[in-house]
């Protein structure tokens, strides 16, 4: 009896080892996959901020260009207005000089007129003295007849000449009055034009000062926008480098896990070969002992369920929609000489779609020993789901999948007795748990 018990214990240990060896070690790659997704989300935020910064940069640059054009026009108008002011100021000075000269001429004319008036008045008094005498008295006083007529004629000429001169001086004064009025009007007009030109120039200069102030502010804002855009570009480049490094790390981890799995499978195969003779000899007896002493086979349902199991609070979808019969439950079983079954088997025709029980990131798609073609998915709560014996894949490692999304197809690959899905749920520690507790 002892000789048969020892091979049985070795067989159970070997079966458990095979189950463990058939489980890919994906903790590190799972973490890296989550880091990649987090980095991609960060990159998307950085790219959004970069796009906003560049849009602001372009808007400020357009404002700067427009303001530069406006400022150039204002400076050109300032130069024209300064030239106009100088011209009007020169004309004003010329008008003031003309007005001053006219005032001098007017004063001279008034002075000359007053002087002539005095001379004329003196002559009039002299002639008045003569006119007080009779013509006879003048004739008597004359030296000769010719002298008498000469005196009379001379007095008449003097009187006519003085009257003409006074008329000319009066006309000259009137002309001076007109010229003085015109000069004063011209000077007043020039004064008004100069004031208007000065006001226009002052307004242009004020506009130029405001434009220069706004240009200074815009340049500072544009410089800040350039710095912000450069900073976000650097952040985006850095996160892209991080994603590239994480992707390379993830690929290396997947390759290392594949090699480790291959080594474990090879070790398990060699161990199985060494124990094969003893296992064949003790298989029947150990199966009986397993059923009677050590195995706790779960009760099978009397009839297969007619409807899909309800979804749990964890939000797990049934992995093979439309096929709800479970042919092999979680726990120890007699199949393959008595093994520990780490999941449930759901029979379905080959090619039937398999869906993700929960949203997550695909860690592995490939052939893995007894599992055959295997898909593993990591979920945000740290758990993982396994989908084994697939005939084909609809996803690839690193891909994000949603709950209920088709990820593969039912098959008969690996260690399988017919087309079905072997479905496992592993907790955050990597330990297989009963999937039916989630439905």
**167, 302: one domain:** no
Instruction: Give the side-chain half-sphere CA count within 13 A for 288.
Output: 5
Same-domain pairing of 335 and 412: yes
Distance CA 207, CA 280 (A): 103
Q: State the burial class of residue 270 (Cβ atoms within 10 Å of its Cβ: 0-12, 13-18, 19+).
A: exposed
Q: At what angle do helices 2-21 and 145-289 cross, to 10 degrees?
A: 170
Domain count, the chain: 2
Same domain, 4 and 95: yes
Q: Which of 272, 294, 316 is the last residue of a domain?
A: 294
- CA–CA separation, 325 vs 309, rounded Å? 10
The DSSP annotation for 346-396 comes to EE--TT-EEE-SS-EEEEEEEE-GGG-EEEEEE-TTS-EEEEEEEEEES--
Place of tokens 């899909």: 308
Same domain, 198 and 342: no
* Cα dihedral 136→138→139→140 (10° resolution): 90
Type and span of the H or E element at 271: helix 145-289
Which residue, 251, 268, 294, sits at the end of a domain? 294
Q: Does residue 64 contact residue 226 with C-beta atoms inside 8 Å? A: no
- CB neighbours of 70 closer than 8 A, spacing ≥ 6? 211
More reliable by pLDDT, 336 or 77:
77
CATH code of the domain containing 109: 1.10.287
Asked whether the predicted pLDDT for residue 327 surpasses 80, the reply is: yes
CB 272 within 8 A of CB 11: no
Identify the three-state secondary structure at position 297. Answer: coil
Which residue, of 294, 329, 363, is where some domain finishes? 294
Q: Is 297 left (phi over 0), alpha (psi -120 to 50) or beta?
A: beta
Same domain for 76 and 23, yes or no, is yes
Shared domain for 261 and 117, answered yes or no, is yes
Q: What is the pLDDT of residues 239-273, one digit of tens each?
A: 899 899 988 888 888 888 888 888 887 776 776 66
How far apart, in whole angstroms, are the C-alpha atoms of residue 172 and residue 354? 123
Six-digit token string for 139 = 């004739």
Are residues 19 and 157 located together in one domain of the fold?
yes
Whole-angstrom CA distances from 7 to 80, 254, 264 are 112, 36, 22
Shared domain check, 381 and 289: no
pLDDT digits (tens, 9 = 90+) for 280-317: 656 655 565 565 554 444 444 434 444 455 454 458 99
pLDDT digits (tens, 9 = 90+) for 337-357: 557 889 999 999 999 999 999
Residue that wins the pLDDT comparison between 220 and 165: 220
Beta bridge partners of 328: 345
Among residues 32, 28, 34, 42, the alpha carbon closest in space to that of 240 is found at 42
Average pLDDT score over residue span 228-232: 91
Query: What was the pLDDT predicted at 407?
Result: 97
Please tell me the distance from the alpha carbon of residue 339 to that of residue 15, in angstroms, as a whole number: 6
pLDDT tens digits along 53-107: 999 989 989 998 997 888 788 888 878 878 888 887 787 788 778 777 777 877 7
Residue with tokens 């439309």: 322
168-187: pLDDT as tens digits: 777 877 877 887 788 778 77
Q: How far is CA 142 from the centre of its chain?
A: 122
Is residue 81 within 8 Å of 204, Cβ to Cβ?
yes
pTM: 0.35
CATH code for the domain of 380 = 2.70.70.10
Give the pLDDT band of residue 213 (cuts 50, 70, 90). confident
Q: Are 289 and 302 part of one and the same domain?
A: no
Domain identity same for 311 and 382: yes
Domain boundaries, position 350: 298-439
Question: Do 281 and 360 share a domain, yes or no?
Answer: no
Check whether residue 283 and residue 304 sit in a common domain.
no
Residue with the bigger pLDDT between 17 and 86: it is 86
């Amino acid at each position: 009896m002892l000789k048969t018990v020892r091979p049985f214990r070795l067989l159970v240990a070997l079966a458990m080892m095979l189950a463990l060896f058939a489980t890919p070690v994906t903790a590190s790659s799972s973490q890296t996959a989550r880091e990649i997704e987090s980095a991609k989300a960060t990159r998307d935020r950085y790219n959004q901020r970069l796009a906003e910064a560049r849009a602001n940069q372009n808007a400020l640059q357009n404002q700067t260009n427009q303001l530069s054009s406006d400022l150039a026009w204002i400076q050109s108008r300032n130069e024209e207005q300064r030239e106009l002011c100088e011209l009007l100021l020169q004309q004003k000075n010329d008008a003031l000089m003309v007005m001053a000269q006219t005032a001098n001429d007017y004063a001279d004319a008034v002075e000359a007129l007053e002087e002539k008036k005095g001379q004329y008045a003196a002559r009039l008094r002299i002639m008045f003295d003569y006119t007080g005498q009779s013509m006879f008295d003048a004739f008597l006083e004359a030296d000769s007849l010719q002298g008498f007529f000469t005196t009379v004629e001379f007095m008449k000429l003097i009187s006519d000449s003085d009257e003409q001169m006074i008329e000319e001086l009066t006309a000259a004064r009137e002309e001076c009055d007109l010229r003085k009025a015109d000069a004063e009007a011209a000077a007043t007009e020039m004064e008004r034009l100069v004031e208007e030109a000065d006001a226009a120039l002052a307004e242009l200069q004020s506009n130029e000062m405001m434009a220069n102030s706004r240009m200074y502010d815009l340049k500072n804002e544009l410089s800040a926008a350039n710095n912000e855009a450069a900073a976000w570009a650097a952040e985006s480049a850095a996160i892209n480098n991080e994603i590239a490094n994480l992707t390379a790390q993830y690929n290396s981890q997947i390759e290392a896990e594949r090699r480790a799995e291959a080594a474990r499978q090879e070790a398990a195969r060699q161990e199985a070969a060494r124990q094969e003779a003893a296992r064949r000899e003790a298989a029947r007896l150990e199966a009986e002992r397993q059923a009677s002493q050590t195995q706790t086979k779960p009760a099978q349902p009397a009839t297969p369920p007619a409807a899909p199991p309800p979804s749990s609070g964890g939000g797990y979808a049934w992995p093979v929609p439309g096929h709800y019969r479970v042919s092999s439950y979680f726990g120890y079983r007699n199949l393959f000489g008595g093994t520990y079954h780490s999941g449930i088997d759901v029979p379905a025709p080959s090619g039937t779609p398999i869906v993700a029980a929960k949203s997550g990131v695909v860690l592995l798609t490939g052939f893995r020993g007894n599992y055959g073609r295997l898909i593993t998915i990591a979920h945000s709560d740290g758990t993982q789901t396994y989908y084994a014996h697939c005939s084909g894949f609809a996803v690839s490692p690193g891909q994000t999948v949603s709950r209920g999304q088709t990820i593969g197809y039912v098959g008969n690959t690996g260690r399988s007795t017919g087309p079905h899905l072997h479905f496992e749920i592993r907790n955050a520690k990597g330990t297989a748990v009963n999937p039916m507790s989630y439905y």
